[in-house]
Structure 1
Amino acid sequence: MGNSKLVRGTMVLTAATLISKILGFIYVIPFTALVGTTGLALYQFGYSQYVILLSLATMGVPLAVSKFVAKYQSLGDYETGYRLFRSGVVLMTITGTLSFLALFFAAPFLANVMNPGEEDLTQAEVILSIRMVSVALIVVPAMSIIRGYFQGYQSMGPTAVSQVVEQIVRIVFILGAAFTVLNVLNGDMATAVGFATFAAFVGAIGGLAVLAYYWFKRRKGILEQVEKSTVRHNLTLKDMYKELILYALPLSFVGLAIPLFQFVDTYTIKGALIGTEFESISTDFIGVLTQAVHKVVLIPMALATALSVTLIPTITRSFTDGDMKKLKQQTTQTFQIILFIAIPAAVGMAVLAYPIYGALYFENLELGGNVMRYYGPITLCFSLFAVSAALLQGINRQRMAVIALIVGLLIKLVTNVPFLHWFGPNGVIFSSYLGNVVAIGINIWAIAKYGQFDFRLVAKRTLLITVFALIMGGAVYIVTHLLSYVINATSRGDYFILTFVGVTVGAAVYLYLSYRSNLAGRVLGERFSILKRKGKSQG
């Protein structure tokens, strides 16, 4: 698979992921207005369990299946991947149902651990939130294997469209149900949040319907390819699943990176802040950190998410074919694109923290703006870990990605509570940075060693990108600071103006510097040749 397919597949998934992320944070604005930051915390108490169980139920299936299918297709064997697909749908339905039952019946225990007798949220409310979201586990695992099968064909369209439809259906149900419960039926906040978590199941049904459409549309062509397989390995189901699990377990664990870090926060923040001056804001802090601000942080990560999904079958194919030149080109291009987007995004969120939060949410502005300023730049860490882990998985060094995550997570576990005591609520953010940076460092070392990759060019470009991003940040700070003397920000509209002006100035400065230096053309490649200045060297 050439770089053109890598870029094309990445663009399709980037667009879909970006749309999903944007929708995912837009709905939080009216949802926050309906249920408040306490409601957001209750939503997180339920949803965090679901994400963990979902990953365990699917065991990294979409990416593992795409890697498995891509490998055997490159060897001329289409039948093996198809057999895996057929049996996998049944298996994933079984694991999903078992995960649903486990989460449903464990809800009382989990609620007690997370919310020990606080007055703002009762045990019954947390149990309801957990049980309502658990139903989605019956459907989503089976859907994941269908997505993985299409991705193995380097066909990202079904995943992209189903992902967007799933998100739209989910959000419409969340807002519609919450509004109906609170304003039509005069219900309470906990019931509204319970139905909001149930939206995960409703959205999954929508996504599954899209995938079913694509399957019946392409079924004939797929079966013809299966019949024309030039090689047939005739693997037993046991051998197929043994190989799949070897791929899936590390993929599953690495895919849990962000949820696991959030999981640690969800279970430790309230308990660690009891008896401190921050005890009264602990629930609101959880809601702001894990939902409101986190949704914004994930938007710049859309590119990294899409690259990760596209990279694994792409890198696997290059690695299986022994094309090291192409492998190194793909690696270089991947890192440069991620850094070109994520570094200025991180700087921008730190500088515009209060205007962004004020424009989007406004409630608890001081708390939210502070969290955004410190937590916003972590989007760079999340992006780098996702992409570096995907590269390691593509070259069959997934064990190193798992080791990196375990080390990073252990650092998070060990430092989270002490940092909370030393630095207050922001301590959990500093702990996340420390764990992520160490994990990324291990991944980078492993890529250099096992992929024989020289990072000197990437380091050179990173330095230039960072300089431009800092100049951009300085310009944004000066302009918005001066504008704040004219606009006495007292409303969401005022903060929106500050955000709009800041983003516009930042984008203009960064793109101008990138164009004049020819950085944009070098990083983004031939498909963006318009960004290459004539007469400039492309070295």
Structure 2
Amino acid sequence: MKKHSLIKGTIILGMAGLFARFLGLFFRIPIQALIGDEGMGYYQMSYPLYMFFVAVASGVPIAMSKLISEMNAKNDREGVHQVLRQTLIFMLILGAAFTTFMLMFARPIITILKWNPKAYYSFLAIAIAPIFVSIMCTFRGFFQGLQNVRPTAISQVVEQVGRVVAGVLFAYLLFPKGIEYAAGGAALGTLVGAIMGSIYLVSTYVKVKKEQPVIRKKMHKYILGDLAKAALPISMGAAVGTIMSLIDSILVPQQLLKAGFTQLQSAVMYGQLTGKVFTLMNVPLALSVALCASLVPIIAESFSLGKRQELIKRVDMAVKLSNVIALPSALGMFFMAYPIMNLVFMKDAAGYEILKYISICIPFVILTQTSTAILQSIGNYMKPVYNLAVGCVIKVIVTYVLVSFSNVNIYGAVIGTILGYVTSCLLNMHELKKSLNIKFNRVDAFIKPAIAASIMIVAVVFSNAIVYNYTMSKGLSCIISIMIGIIVYLIFVFLLRIFKYQEIKNKFSRRK
């Protein structure tokens, strides 16, 4: 089986992630048109709880990829498959328990959290998905541990296709019964997508196992213990990050009511924040997630084999890639918030101001994710969790205080999110420098990407205005200006030599 380098693995997963996000946007467009901000509010209220489980489960594939990468480096195939078998059993039990909990306590949870009662149908629809998410997470961890990201990438696309087609279909069919039923139909797409992604990964594993028969060696007695030692802190870190969204689903609607808004107005504003803004933010974050998924087994391999110079090069490359992804994304969404929102949501640009200001936190979110992946790859599991927890506390306090002011309202959550991630990012980067005794090349890693991104956004803004003057089409001018921006950015990344030829040629990875 081929091993993918950090750059190639990031590109494969990143492209798949971006394609999946764009499919998600196509899902949002008809759903938004069908159920509006109100329906999106019902749909999104239950979604953070589901994403909390996804975050908890996400620690398992990362921990698996670390263990499997180390075993595979020692040619222990039986150990690799033992990790898969034992993890799958554990994850199925965990997923089934979470599903049972959501189904049994749906109404009490909605009442306690003071969600709109109409969110009940979305909650039920999404409750069964954790079982299949458990299967997907396990097999993705297996393939990522072998540094083969292609099955993970394809499964993301398959999952999203199922989610989009089924979600739109069920929402349309159930719409005559009411907006809350249509929102529940949209949530059913999540379940269908998870089922399709699981089927693809299991069938791919069956083929791989036939091609590479396992040679029986000694049994590993402490696999689940080793897995838990690595997975628990990673899951806690991912859960803390996702708790920020869960906090929004609890605090924001409540505090908006205190600020004097009606329950319907609160649902609409919350729908704009989560259904529109966070959806668009997730597009660049797909590349960051891809980078982290590629990073863990590659960093873990270098660290376990004691290759310090190779380790430092890979860490430096990861930070550089993070900024190359983050800076143009942040500037693009800040200066082009209205045209992007207007294009994606078919002239429904309500909430674009929220997107504009929350884009400030994109570089800090991405650097937090990358530094967390690096620290946990070298065995420093808990420090990123503590740092995320500190950021989360700041997020809670700021959101709770500011949202209740009527003149601040939903922007209190935006300010809280920015301050929370800035805090976590700075703490993580300090810990990274201390743990590895590393000094980053600030010119290559920070200044050059900032220069390229600044030139790009000037080209985007001017070309958007010029094309609009000729075509009088906001959508067409937005698309053309973004394409021009991508071309200009890539040209200046090349001209400024942000990535050296030797870095790309070497790829920092061997092939089997």
1:446 corresponding residue in structure 2:
431
Distance 2:159 2:398 in 1: 37
Is 1:356 aligned to 2:340, yes or no?
yes
Is 1:217 aligned to 2:207, yes or no?
yes
Gaps of 5+ in 2: 508-512
Change (3 A) 1:482 1:421: farther
Is 1:208 aligned to 2:207, yes or no?
no
Distance 1:18 1:257 in 2: 24
> Bigger shift: 434-443 or 499-508?
499-508
The answer to whether the 8 A contact 2:240-2:389 is kept is no
Letter in 2 for 1:28: R
CA shift for structure 1 position 452:
1.8
2:281 corresponding residue in structure 1:
297
Change (3 A) 1:505 1:204: closer
CA shift for structure 1 position 331:
0.9
The answer to whether the 8 A contact 1:70-1:152 is kept is yes
2:32 corresponding residue in structure 1:
32
| Residue correspondence of structure 1 range 67-466 to structure 2 within 5 A | 67-115=66-114, 121=116, 123=117, 125-182=118-175, 186-224=176-214, 226-227=215-216, 232=218, 234-236=219-221, 239-276=222-259, 278-279=261-262, 281-362=265-346, 365=349, 367-421=350-404, 423-455=408-440, 457-466=441-450
Report Cα offsets for 1:210-256 as digits up to 9, x if no partner. Answer: 112212211134433x43x5xx4x432xx221111111112112223
Distance 1:337 1:374 in 2: 23
The answer to whether the 8 A contact 1:352-1:502 is kept is no
2:510 corresponding residue in structure 1:
none
CA shift for structure 1 position 341:
2.2
> Bigger shift: 163-172 or 75-84?
75-84
Change (3 A) 1:317 1:515: closer
CA shift for structure 1 position 311:
0.9
Distance 1:465 1:28 in 2: 31
Change (3 A) 1:190 1:421: closer
2:479 corresponding residue in structure 1:
500
CA shift for structure 1 position 501:
3.7
Change (3 A) 1:477 1:61: same
Distance 1:133 1:274 in 2: 26
CA shift for structure 1 position 520:
5.4
Letter in 1 for 2:192: V
Letter in 1 for 2:364: C
The answer to whether the 8 A contact 2:2-2:148 is kept is no
CA shift for structure 1 position 269:
0.9
Aligned to 2:283, the other structure's residue is in SS state: coil
The answer to whether the 8 A contact 1:337-1:524 is kept is no
Distance 1:26 1:258 in 2: 26
Aligned to 2:278, the other structure's residue is in SS state: helix
The answer to whether the 8 A contact 2:55-2:239 is kept is yes
Change (3 A) 1:256 1:495: farther
Report Cα offsets for 1:114-171 as digits up to 9, x if no partner. Answer: 445xxxx4x1x22221111001122221332122112211121221111211110111
Distance 1:204 1:220 in 2: 25
Letter in 1 for 2:297: P
Distance 1:77 1:484 in 2: 60
The answer to whether the 8 A contact 1:40-1:291 is kept is yes
CA shift for structure 1 position 486:
6.5
The answer to whether the 8 A contact 2:31-2:186 is kept is no
The answer to whether the 8 A contact 2:288-2:325 is kept is no
Q: Tell me the matched-pair count.
A: 504
Is 1:19 aligned to 2:9, yes or no?
no
The answer to whether the 8 A contact 1:3-1:330 is kept is no
2:41 corresponding residue in structure 1:
41
Letter in 1 for 2:334: A
TM-score by length of 1: 0.87
CA shift for structure 1 position 24:
1.4
The answer to whether the 8 A contact 1:135-1:198 is kept is no
CA shift for structure 1 position 3:
10
> Bigger shift: 105-114 or 390-399?
105-114
1:526 corresponding residue in structure 2:
505
Distance 2:166 2:125 in 1: 13
Aligned to 2:220, the other structure's residue is in SS state: coil
What RMSD, in angstroms, separates the aligned Cα atoms of the two structures? 2.5
> Which protein, 1 or 2, shows the higher relative CO under an 8 Å CA cutoff with sep ≥ 6?
2
Report Cα offsets for 1:185-204 as digits up to 9, x if no partner. Answer: x2211111112212222111
The answer to whether the 8 A contact 1:53-1:103 is kept is no
Change (3 A) 1:505 1:440: same
2:8 corresponding residue in structure 1:
8
Aligned to 1:206, the other structure's residue is in SS state: helix
CA shift for structure 1 position 36:
0.6
The answer to whether the 8 A contact 1:298-1:379 is kept is no
2:460 corresponding residue in structure 1:
476
Distance 1:64 1:256 in 2: 15
Moved over 6 A (4+): 1-4, 485-488
Distance 1:201 1:304 in 2: 25
The answer to whether the 8 A contact 2:341-2:348 is kept is no
Letter in 2 for 1:103: M
1:534 corresponding residue in structure 2:
none
CA shift for structure 1 position 289:
1.1
TM-score by length of 2: 0.92
